[in-house]
Structure 1
Amino acid sequence: MTIDSSTPRPELLLPAGDMEKLKTAVRFGADAIYLGSEAFGLRAHAGNFSLDDLRQARAITAAAHVALYLTLNASLRPSEFTALEALLEELKPLDLDAYIVADPGVLTTIRRVDPRRAIHISTQVNSCNPRAAEFWRQSGASRINLARELTLEDIRAFAGQTAIALECFVHGAMCVAHSGRCLLSTALLERSANRGDCAQPCRWNYALVEETRPDERFAIEEDGRGTYIMNSRDLCLIDQLPQLMAAGISSFKVEGRMKSLYYVATTARIYRAAIDRLSADPTAVDPLWRSELEKVSHRPYTTGLLLGDQGAAIHAADTHYIRTHDFVGFVRRDEKGLWVAGRNRFFAGDTLELIGPQMRQQAFVAERITDRDGQPLAAGQPNSELLLDLPQWAEEGDLIRRERPR
């Protein structure tokens, strides 16, 4: 396997569900960030950004030389285009780096209202072949997010048959439906997944009912908790990055605008380290990367359909979250110095671990916990403001975790 040294290293594209997560993604190594406004995105229940928030986000990312992409990938109704045009006019001065779209009507509206803006095509359009990619390129798009149903061989075919830049998901939650185009939420709850309001009924526990005995429910069981028959695993392609880089992928995208601050930091620092090292030496896969990704809350990992018949797996009998570590706090700074914002409970005497960018991490013991006035505390609590004896290299924005008792 070889990676062309003349090819720019792939972009690391991280999610931001709110301003704190955006700052964390920037600090921990993102090249680009995607987020949603208060309309026309596919995460209606994420911490979406108001126009004022977007101005602040643009200032933060511009200062850090990080690209900022806005999701406008919902499927629109005829009556909504007037509001879209008004939003696009308001967004013009922000000079965002690209809009992510799926609806051809949205694309043509952007081309008319804001023709200078770059357009990226969402995975929602199910782009499974190079001819479809060429259609989008000729329509004005500069990048396409490939369908997650593609194999590595399929992806290699794209690079030779289209000039559009290729982006793919490498980590995060997956959808039971083809590239996320699901009608189940609409059918059961009148909440459209294609308009940002998915209730995730695929994650629910179902039972069988025989029509002549409607009061009797028959569990579909694998264990005492039941079987989640439509639930999907989480994607993790950290071990496949060299092949994806060699195949011509120019942007690696992490799913998770509704995930935690700890998730954003962990995925950013690991994929940042991996991209940087593998760009220099594609054989230098570090087992630590996978080990660290196991320490963030996740469903069982899979490589999806990327490797074809070699271990292809999307669904599992039990896809409850695996949690080996708790995110217990993050480091803040003010005029008085460093302090810790508590997120989960921990106790004096617990072994904690500080993690920061550039793969910095160090275990330490919480020998003494106090409030900010120096009064001793037995435990750190959520939403508390604490003082701890941190490792000397601690900086604002670093995170603290604790291994869960086994």
Structure 2
Amino acid sequence: MQKKRLKRPEVLSPAGTLEKLKVAVDYGADAVFVGGQAYGLRSRAGNFSMEELQEGIDYAHERGAKVYVAANMVTHEGNEIGAGQWFCQLRDMGLDAVIVSDPALIAICAAEAPGLEIHLSTQASSTNVETFEFWKEMGLTRVVLAREVSMEEIAQIRQRTDVEIEAFVHGAMCISYSGRCVLSNHMSFRDANRGGCCQSCRWKYDLYQVTEEDGRQSVQGQIPEEFSMSAVDMCMIEHIPDMIENGVDSLKIEGRMKSVHYVSTVTNCYKAAVDAYLESPEAFEAIKQDLIDECWKVAQRELSTGFYYQTPSEDEQLFGARRKIPRYKFVAEVVSFDPETMRATIRQRNVIKEGEAIECYGPGFRHFETKVEDLRDQDGLPIDRANRPMELLTIKLDRPVCPGDMIRSCQSGLINLYKDNGQSMTIRA
């Protein structure tokens, strides 16, 4: 029986800054999505100037990767002025595609910047094949699925359309339907649909009981969690086979406002997962637990599979007690390595100490644990502790590393938290 030929999906990583773009590409991203200085939904991300964007496009293209710009805001009257010229400039810079949700911006881009590929944003809430075909007729080549679509629905959509499917596989998920939030605007006059989200769903809320006798009484302490709306994060790393088998063209990682540590780690994991499964299911199974463990090292919240396999209840979806807390801290990146002396020159990012347990990792899912030995400052003097960010230091290693590799400290202590009838239980590493 002939083996089924599977299409390699694109690993699409977030890039909030030029540095993160380069890191994402170096760690295996097939494409990155960024924000320009107009029409996006992340006003507080390190959005790219045109000069930075050009440098990023050139850097990615030289390494076989693509760059997309998110222009997914909902326009109000007058917001569309100048959009055509902006889209033309992006096209002429060699941008691979724009990600758009507003029909007005889609029409402007198609009419005034022909040749620039348009992808439909998840904010447009595409959940069925008829919607895919509608946007195909409008000239769009890819649709980013609504986050509420199930795996079964993906399979059905794939069988009935040749439009490219992009789906989220990792990162923070908005509690509002397809990210179309009005809560932020209501509570802080910052419009989430035009880039001003204040993340009010992640604020701490209290509940009150109102009776005629006692009036309004807080129930704080009687309920286990103060959060009431904040969704847990998505992680599909162990289900990448399902995404590939069902024909998803692009695996999207959320996180343009996340750190270099996050971007490098998660990109590395999903690239390794895709490579392993396309080699063989057995190869994927052999590294699956390592991939899961690696993703937890940068997890900021609980992890779930969202709506892919079931409609999540409050137990699976709302932010609550953490099962795991990462005990890793990004401390440095490798600038150079001398194989004769086995000394690495590193650029410090956080406090690093002599004798500290560390893990070095790099592209290709390379990683090993060791200790900081013979820590020296930029003048070559031995030191016990370095606490000045971006300072150049040297350390002695027992294995070789490469420029661009990352170093994180491995802290001991409490790593698992469980709740049993409101009581906390702890397990030591």
Is TM > 0.5 for Structure 1 vs Structure 2? yes
- Distance, in Å, in 2 between the alignment partners of 1:232 and 1:382 is 36
- Distance, in Å, in 2 between the alignment partners of 1:58 and 1:170 is 24
Q: CA contact under 8 A between 2:67 and 2:97: conserved in structure 1?
A: yes
2:45 — aligned with what? 46
Q: CA contact under 8 A between 2:337 and 2:402: conserved in structure 1?
A: no
1:278 — aligned with what? 277
- Distance, in Å, in 1 between the alignment partners of 2:324 and 2:78 is 40
Q: Report deviation, 1:295.
A: 1.0
Q: Percent identity?
A: 33
Q: Report deviation, 1:309.
A: 5.5
- Distance, in Å, in 2 between the alignment partners of 1:325 and 1:341 is 17
Q: CA contact under 8 A between 2:100 and 2:106: conserved in structure 1?
A: yes
Are 2:331 and 1:328 aligned?
yes
SS in 2 for 1:78: coil
1:369 — aligned with what? 375
Q: Report deviation, 1:102.
A: 0.5
Tell me which amino acid in the other structure corresponds to 1:295.
K
1:298 — aligned with what? 300
SS in 2 for 1:231: coil
1:386 — aligned with what? 393
1:17 — aligned with what? 16
Tell me which amino acid in the other structure corresponds to 1:258.
M
Higher mean alpha-carbon deviation, 293-302 vs 65-74, is at: 293-302
Q: CA contact under 8 A between 1:206 and 1:228: conserved in structure 2?
A: yes
Which aligned pairs between 1:258-269 and structure 2 lie closer than 5 A?
258-269=257-268
Q: Report deviation, 1:246.
A: 0.9
2:103 — aligned with what? 104
- Distance, in Å, in 1 between the alignment partners of 2:394 and 2:351 is 14
Post-superposition Cα deviations, 1:37-69, rounded to whole Å, max 9, x if no partner, equal 111111110111000111110110111110110
- Distance, in Å, in 1 between the alignment partners of 2:306 and 2:127 is 15
Are residues 321 and 110 of structure 1, via their aligned partners in 2, closer, same or farther at CA, if it must alter by over 3 Å? farther
Higher mean alpha-carbon deviation, 383-392 vs 142-151, is at: 383-392
2:406 — aligned with what? 399
1:249 — aligned with what? 248
Q: Report deviation, 1:290.
A: 0.5
- Aligned residue-pair number: 401
Q: Report deviation, 1:323.
A: 2.5
Q: Report deviation, 1:161.
A: 1.8
Q: Report deviation, 1:156.
A: 0.6
2:348 — aligned with what? 342
Are 2:79 and 1:80 aligned?
yes
1:308 — aligned with what? 310
- Distance, in Å, in 2 between the alignment partners of 1:386 and 1:71 is 37
Q: CA contact under 8 A between 2:344 and 2:396: conserved in structure 1?
A: no
Unaligned runs of 5+ in 1: none
Are residues 278 and 320 of structure 1, via their aligned partners in 2, closer, same or farther at CA, if it must alter by over 3 Å? closer
Post-superposition Cα deviations, 1:296-348, rounded to whole Å, max 9, x if no partner, equal 1321110111112698822143369932211111112499x952121222211
Tell me which amino acid in the other structure corresponds to 2:330.
F
Q: Report deviation, 1:218.
A: 4.2
Cα-Cα RMSD: 2.3
Tell me which amino acid in the other structure corresponds to 2:411.
R
- Distance, in Å, in 1 between the alignment partners of 2:85 and 2:153 is 39
Q: Report deviation, 1:87.
A: 1.5
Which aligned pairs between 1:213-224 and structure 2 lie closer than 5 A?
217-219=218-220, 222-223=223-224
Are residues 227 and 147 of structure 1, via their aligned partners in 2, closer, same or farther at CA, if it must alter by over 3 Å? same
Post-superposition Cα deviations, 1:210-229, rounded to whole Å, max 9, x if no partner, equal 67889864437544xx4211
Unaligned runs of 5+ in 2: 414-429
2:4 — aligned with what? 4
SS in 1 for 2:58: helix
SS in 1 for 2:373: coil
SS in 2 for 1:352: strand
